[in-house]
Amino acid sequence: MARALVVYESVFGDAKQIALAIAEGLATRLPVDVVSARDAPAQVPAEVRMLVVGGPTHAFGMPEEATRESAIEDHGAEIPDTSFGLHEWLDTVQLPPHINAAAFDTRMDHPTLITKLDHAARIEEKLLRGLGAALAAPAEHFVVVDPEGPLADGEEDRARRWGTALGELVAARPANASG
């Protein structure tokens, strides 16, 4: 049976909150699993028809070991293992053929010119394409009011609605279609 999988990285809990809300939206159309990158499977099962990945924007991109260390030093974050997160998972995971995918990130609110350059989802999408996934929808960006959160008002609801839209999109497609 077709399923969805949401894989996230989150330092302060905001991207996790978004991932859970997206999963709630997806769950209106198909069964969903939501896991942190640390707990995500090395090989995504064939029944997964929609993979959603996301995490925080760090230093204009995705979190890496050095930015996770900065989060600990500068913001008192607690990260048990700074060497592994979403980027590292996407570097090694194997995806089934014809999988649909979508990316999200959380970030601070910046002027449009900066936000065009500044988001982790751009790199997430590049890694997904490199793995052969078909991007089912443009990436979404969710705003936090401070580096340590919380999410801006309405962002969790927006994530839930986006999840529902992604679920409808996949439910409308035949099993071997992508793109």
Which amino acid, 145?
V
Stretch that binds ligand FMN, among 10-18, 22-30, 41-49, 85-93 (CB under 6 A): 10-18
Q: How far apart are CA 82 and CA 93, in angstroms?
A: 18
The answer to the question of residue 163 lying near ligand FMN (CB under 6 A) is no
The residue to which tokens 């936090």 are assigned: 144
Q: Which residues pair with 143 in a beta bridge?
A: 107
Q: Which of 98, 131, 147, 173 binds ligand FMN (CB under 6 A)?
A: 147
Instruction: Check: CB of residue 164 under 8 Å from CB of residue 158.
Output: no
Q: How far apart are CA 83 and CA 74, in angstroms?
A: 18
Show the tokens assigned to 136: 């089912």
Assign residue 154 a region: left if phi > 0, alpha if psi is -120 to 50, beta otherwise? left
Q: Which of 22, 26, 48, 71 binds ligand FMN (CB under 6 A)?
A: 71
Q: Which of 35, 79, 108, 171 binds ligand FMN (CB under 6 A)?
A: 108
Q: Which of 41, 96, 132, 149 binds ligand FMN (CB under 6 A)?
A: 149
Q: Which of 39, 45, 75, 157 binds ligand FMN (CB under 6 A)?
A: 75
Q: How far is CA 154 from the centre of its chain?
A: 18
Q: Output 57 or 178, the one with its CB closest to ligand FMN.
A: 57
The answer to the question of residue 70 lying near ligand FMN (CB under 6 A) is yes
Which residues sit at the interface with ligand FMN, rule CB under 6 A?
10-15, 56-60, 67, 70-71, 75, 106-108, 110, 118, 144, 147, 149
